[in-house]
Structure 1
Amino acid sequence: MTETPSSARPGLLANWLFIVAGLVVLIVTVGGITRLTESGLSITEWKPFLGALPPLSDADWQAEFELYKQIPEYQQINGPAGMDLEAFKSIYWWEWIHRQLGRLIGLALAVPLAIFALRKMVPQGYFWRLFALVALVGLQGSFGWWMVASGLETRTDVSHFRLAIHLCTALVLLGGLVWTAFDLKRVAAGKPKPAGMTALAAWTGVILFVQLLLGAWVAGLEAGLASDSWPLMQGRFIPEFDSSQGIFWAMTHDPFLIHWMHRWWAWVVVGALVVMARKVKPASRKASIAIHSAFGTQVLLGIATVMTGVEFHLAVLHQLVGALLVIAFTVGAHVLGRQE
C-alpha cells in the first residue's frame, strides 16, 4: 500500500502536516476567543474569496455595521446596550482573523499537495488520504457558515449543535493530520505499514469525543456560567434543571445539566486515558507523559474556569489544551497501533 518511489519525500510531507496541525490548533484557539467575545455573528455574509479583504474605508465599515444591525443579536442585545462602530470593529476583527486562518489552512494543505503530487513526492497510497484532509477543510468552512447562519434570522446566538459539529470537525481534522504525519515519518524510516486503530484506542477515542461534544455544547449555551463552584453546583451534587420536556431534551438543551455532564464525564475520560497511557508507556514513555500532562492540565483548567466564572484567559487556555489533548491521544493511539 505504501511502496515508496525514489522521488517520494515522506519526511518532508510529515513536517508539512505537523505545521498545518499547528495552524489548526491556532484556529481552534482563535475560535474559542471568537466565541468568548461573542464575535461570531459580526460578519453576516459568506464570501469565500472576496471576503478575504477587510473593510478598507469608513464607508466600508459603516456598510458592514449596517448589515450587522439587521440581525437579532444587535437588535435585541448589542443595540440596546449602546454598541457603536468602534465596539463593532472590536468583534469584527476576531471573526475576520478566524476566517482568514481557515483560508490559510485550506491553502496550506491544497497548494503544497498539488505541488507534491505533480513532482511525485507523495508515497504510494497517501494521495487520496491527503486529498481527504483537504476536502475536510472545505467541509469545515461550510460547517462554519452553516453555524453562523443559524444566528442571523431568529436567534441571538448560533445553534450549539452546529457549533459542536464545527468544532468537532476541526478536532477530527487535527487528529487526521497528526496520525498521517506519523505514518509518513514511519515510511521515511523504512517502515511503510500504516498504524491501525486498536480496540482500546477506539473506545478511548469515543469517550473523549463525547467530552469534546459536551464541551462544545457548554460553549454554545454559555453553560460554563451555570455554576462558579466545584465540586457542587447550587450546593448540590446534581443541580436543578428543566426536565419539563423530557430527560433527553434536558440532556441536549439544559445548560445546568449539560454543564454537570461535562464536569463529571471528564473523570470517565481521565480513567480511559490513564488505562491507555499505561498501555502506551512500554513503547513510548514520552507519549504516555504527554497524555497524562494534557488531561491533568485540562482538568485543572476546567475547574479553574468554572470557579472564576469563566475568566477569559483560563477559558481560552481550556480550549487550547483541549486541542493539545486530542494530539496527545492521537499520538498514543498511533503508538498502540504500530505494526513493525
Structure 2
Amino acid sequence: MTLLRAADDRQNTFSARHSDGNRAVAIWLWAVAALVIAMIVVGGATRLTESGLSITEWQPLLGAIPPLSHADWLAAFEKYKQIPQYHIMNHGMSLAEFQSIYWWEWSHRFLGRIIGVAFAVPLVFFWLTGRLKHGSGAKFLGVLALGGVQGVIGWYMVKSGLVERVDVSQYRLALHLTTAFAILGLLVWLALEEWPDAARRAAGSVTPLIRRMGAIIVAAVILQVVLGAFVAGLKAGFIYNTWPTMNGQWFPSDYWTTPAYLTFFESHAASQFNHRIMAYIVVLIVLTELWLVMRSPVDSRARTTAVLLALAVLAQVALGIMTLLAHVPLELGVVHQFGGAIVFVLAVVHLHAIRRAAVRE
C-alpha cells in the first residue's frame, strides 16, 4: 500500500508538470500497437496455412517453450493426429510438414505473450515512476485485462476445431479478430491522448456532420472486419473468384440458406456478398467525409488524416479484388489483413483529429 501511495504521489506530481501528456508513454503505446498489427498479420497467415489447430493444448506459461527434441516433436505430432483435421485433411503428412504448420501457430501464440510482456512491464514502470496522467492507469489496466481475455478467446476458438470440425468456428474467429481490433483501437486512441499536444484545440473547426461521419467510419470499418472474419472462417474467398459480378451474377442465387436467419453467418455466398457490399459502403462514406473535410476550415491534421484514410481504403479495396481474383494466395491474403489493420488505425486517428476541433454550427 505504501508503494502504491508513493506511486500515486509521484503520478500526481508528474501530472501537474506534464498535464498535456508524455511522449515516452505515447511511443510505448504506439510500439505495442505495432506488435498487435503484427499479431493480426501472423494470425492471418496461421489461418491461411491451416495451422491454427496444430497445437492442441493451451499452456499459458509452459506453452512458450516449443518442442526441443525429436521425442518432443513426435509427442506433439501424436496429439495432432488425434483431431479430425489430421484424419480428414492431413492424413499421412510427414513430421516436417507438421513442424511447418506448428511453427506458424507457435509464433502466433508466442507473439501474444510478447505483447503481454511489452505492455505490462512498461506499464508498471510508468506507473511507479509517476509518468501516467491522472486517471489513465485504470484505462491501461482495462486494456491489459482485455488482452488477457483475448488469450482465453483464442483458446476458445481453437477448441471449436478439435473435436467435430476440421477448422475453427467462424463465430469464434469473428469474436477473436474483433477483439484484436478493439485492443488495437484502444492502444491507438490512448497513444494519441498521451501525445504532448493532444489536449490542445485544433486550429480549425468542424461541422457536427463531419464529427458524426468520423465515428460512423470507425463503426463501418469494424463491421467490415467482422464480415471479413466470417468470409475467412467459412473460406468464402475461394468461391466466386470474379469481379465485379459473382460468376456473372450481381446477386448470388445461393445467397439464402436454411434457416434464413443464419444466412448472414453460415452462407458462403452471403458472407462474400456482404463483405463486397460493405466495402463499397465504406468507400462511399470515406470519400464523403473527405469531400466534407476539404470544404471546411479544418486544421492540417484533420485534412491529412482524411486524405490518407481515403487512399488507404481505395488501396485496400483494390487489394481485396486482387486477392479474390487470385484465389486468396498466402501473400496477398496476409497483405490484405495488414491493410485492414492500417485502414482501421487511420480511421481512429482521423476520428481523434476531428474530435480535437471545435464544433461549428
TM-score (norm 1): 0.93
Q: Within the alignment, does 1:211 sit opposite 2:210 as a pair? A: no
Q: For structure 1, which runs of at least 5 residues remain unmatched after alignment?
A: none
> Which residue does 2:119 correspond to in 1?
109
Written as runs of structure 1 = structure 2, the 5 A alignment for 1:168-187 is 168-185=178-195
Matched with 2:253 is 240
Paired residues for 1:128-143 under 5 Å = 128-143=138-153
Partner of 1:98: 108
Map 1:115-130 onto structure 2 (within 5 A).
115-130=125-140
Shift of 1:200: 2.5
Using the TM superposition, give the Cα deviation of residue 256 of structure 1 relative to its aligned residue in structure 2, in angstroms: 1.1
Q: Secondary structure of 1:4's match?
A: helix
Residue deviations 1:206-265 (CA, integer Å, cap 9, x gap): 222221111000011110011111011121111122635133212210111110110111
Task: State the distance in 1 between where 2:198 and 2:219 align.
Answer: 31
State how far apart, in whole Å, the 2-side matches of 1:247 and 1:306 are.
26
SS in 2 for 1:227: coil
Amino acid of the residue matched to residue 17 of structure 2?
S
- Asked if structure 2 preserves the Cα contact closer than 8 Å seen for 1:280 and 1:332, the reply is no
1:28 is aligned to 40
CA distance in 2, matches of 1:115, 1:127: 12
Assess if the C-alpha contact under 8 Å between 1:280 and 1:335 holds in 2. Answer: no
- Report the CA distance between 1:296 and its aligned residue: 0.9
Deviation at 1:190, TM superposition (A): 7.3
Residues 111-162 of structure 1 deviation map (CA, whole Å, 9 limit, x = unaligned) = 1101111111101121111111111111111111110010011111000110
1:243 and 1:313 mapped to 2: Cα distance?
A: 31
Question: Displacement, 1:84?
Answer: 1.2
- Give the corresponding residue for 2:163: 153
1:4 is aligned, of 11, 15, 18, to 15
| Kept in 2: contact 1:280–1:336 (CA 8 A) | no
CA distance in 2, matches of 1:171, 1:304: 23
Identity %: 42
Cα RMSD (Å): 2.1
Q: In structure 2, the residue corresponding to 1:166 is in which secondary structure?
A: helix
CA distance in 2, matches of 1:227, 1:138: 38
What does residue 82 of structure 2 align with? Answer: 70
Counterpart residue number, 2:174: 164
Counting matched residue pairs gives: 334
Q: 2:317 aligns with which of 290, 299, 309?
A: 299
- Give the drift of 1:55: 0.2
Which is higher, the Rg of structure 1 or of structure 2?
2
> Could you say which residue in structure 1 is the equivalent of 2:335?
317
Q: What do the CA deviations read for 1:95-117 (whole angstroms, capped 9, x no partner)?
A: 00000110011111111101111
- Is contact 2:50–2:101 with CA below 8 Å preserved after alignment? yes
Q: Is the 8 A contact 2:236 2:272 kept in 1?
A: yes
